[in-house]
Amino acid sequence: MVTLKDLATTLGVSVSTVSKALKDSPEISEETIKRVKNIAKELNYRPNTLALSLKNRKTMTIGVLIPDILNKFFSKILYGLELEAQKSGYQIITCLTNESLEREKKALDLLSNGSVDGFILSCARETQTENSIDHFKNIIDQGTPIVMFDRVANDVDCDKVIMDDYKAAYQATKKLISEGRENIVLFDRLEGLSVGKLRILGYRKAIEQSTEYQSQPKIHSTTDDQGSTTEYLTKMLKDDPSIDGLLCIDNIAGVKAVGAAQRLGKNIPQDLSVIGFASDDIYDLCYPKLTTVAQRASQIGQQSVKMLIDRIENNNEVKHSTTATVNFGLDLRGTTL
């Protein structure tokens, strides 16, 4: 590693002269600047980030905690985060918490000693079920800002980025109603996450509020334990052949539903409209392609970074915490009319 000192000694000047010269300081003569820069390039000098961070008390690094990187939703977020961070010259250091509260605590612990200027995170499942929040509060009290996205802890006072799951389900359901569907089922495979409940509420609301739609809300659900989703869907469609609208509020059930319906001889979308919630790009794994309600995952990432950097760089102004809402988009494809 080439250091300032190395440059200084080979040039026979002082370290501070070199330091200033590299920053084009007006204090230094044109000529010296040139000499310094030349030798710096020649020896491939690169400033030591660690030393800079130590000096400046600023790391230009964001700690990111991801509950489950195998979930495409989160990898998309990570993608958005990285993109936006890079724009502003920030690095990202990623920790995977694997849905574990303990890992979450450890990760926070490990990085909250000057390694990082702030955190962007989504709570581990365990953190949500146990409603554990002290570890977050500690960090914030220490003066390190946190931005939470998607799975947020309501009782922690920090900036947040969430999605409007309620509205998304509401609009998807309205789309089905507007097609003139008369037996619209909601299919659920989520496991007690707060977002699932909001989606159900949105579905209910759309149906109850509609004057044209006559039936009651009808909700089917299954978990992984109860055998294959495909089998469940097949049985459901067979038992109730009048189902003509289907809103699947999890990732992949939509694709499976299309396949199951087609094997039962149904025409999609003439006989049955299907809309899925998707963070995975799985919409073209059936034919026709699946109409989805899509989370704008990369947008969430971008928004989070913006909010965090704003905090980091203007931490003097004491602002109230804000919560940003990112809307879903209804991407119409072939499984709806």
Partner DNA sequence: ATGAAAGCGCTAACAA
Partner DNA sequence: TTGTTAGCGCTTTCAT
Contact positions vs a second copy (CB under 8 A): 1, 44, 46-51, 53-54, 59, 61, 69-70, 72, 75-76, 78-79, 82-83, 91-96, 109-110, 112-115, 138, 142, 228, 230, 252, 255-256, 259-260, 262-263, 281-282, 284-287
322 CB-near residues (< 8 Å, 6+ apart): 159, 160, 307
Smallest distance, a second copy to C-beta of residue 303, A: 18
User: Per rule CB under 7 A, is residue 26 in the interface with DNA?
Assistant: yes
Q: CB-wise, 61 or 302, nearer to DNA?
A: 61
- The correct pick among 9, 24, 47, 209 for binding DNA (CB under 7 A) is 47
Q: CB-wise, 54 or 332, nearer to DNA?
A: 54
Smallest distance, DNA to C-beta of residue 291, A: 54
The first and second tokens of residue 84, run together, are 């936006």
Rounded Cα–Cα distance for residues 240 and 214 (Å)? 17
Rounded Cα–Cα distance for residues 202 and 101 (Å)? 30
Smallest distance, a second copy to C-beta of residue 65, A: 11
User: Per rule CB under 7 A, is residue 51 in the interface with DNA?
Assistant: yes
26's contact among DNA, a second copy, none, with CB below 5 to 8 A by partner kind, is DNA
228's contact among DNA, a second copy, none, with CB below 5 to 8 A by partner kind, is a second copy
Q: Vertex 88, ends 161 and 104: CA angle to 5°?
A: 45
User: H-type helices in the chain, by residue range?
Assistant: 4-11, 15-22, 30-42, 49-56, 72-87, 101-111, 125-130, 134-141, 165-178, 194-209, 229-239, 253-263, 297-313
Q: What is the DSSP string of 132-192?
A: --HHHHHHHHTT--EEEESS--TTS-SEEEEE-HHHHHHHHHHHHHHTT-S-EEEEE---S
Helix, strand or coil for residue 325?
strand
Could you tell me if 92 and 62 are in contact, meaning their C-beta atoms sit under 8 angstroms apart? yes
Smallest distance, a second copy to C-beta of residue 194, A: 24
Q: Which stretch binds DNA (CB under 7 A): 51-59, 86-94, 230-238, 255-263?
A: 51-59
Q: CB-wise, 39 or 219, nearer to a second copy?
A: 39
User: Per rule CB under 7 A, is residue 9 in the interface with DNA?
Assistant: no
Q: CB-wise, 173 or 291, nearer to a second copy?
A: 291
14's contact among DNA, a second copy, none, with CB below 5 to 8 A by partner kind, is DNA
66 CB-near residues (< 8 Å, 6+ apart): 74, 77, 78, 94, 95, 96, 97, 121, 122
Rounded Cα–Cα distance for residues 199 and 127 (Å)? 22
Largest CA distance in the chain: 89
Q: CB-wise, 104 or 207, nearer to a second copy?
A: 104
If we measure between CA atoms, which residue out of 270, 244, 249, 259 comes closest to residue 334?
A: 270
* φ and ψ of 283, to 5 deg: -60, -25
253's contact among a second copy, DNA, none, with CB below 5 to 8 A by partner kind, is none
User: Per rule CB under 7 A, is residue 27 in the interface with DNA?
Assistant: yes
Q: CB-wise, 45 or 73, nearer to DNA?
A: 45
> For the packed helices 194-209 and 165-178, what is the interaxial angle rounded to 10 degrees?
40
Helix, strand or coil for residue 48?
coil
Smallest distance, DNA to C-beta of residue 138, A: 17
The first and second tokens of residue 331, run together, are 């991407």
93's contact among DNA, a second copy, none, with CB below 5 to 8 A by partner kind, is a second copy
Q: Which stretch binds DNA (CB under 7 A): 9-17, 63-71, 140-148, 310-318?
A: 9-17
User: Per rule CB under 7 A, is residue 48 in the interface with DNA?
Assistant: yes
Write out the residues near DNA by the rule CB under 7 A.
1, 3-5, 12-17, 19-20, 22-23, 26-29, 31-32, 45, 47-48, 51-52, 54-57, 114
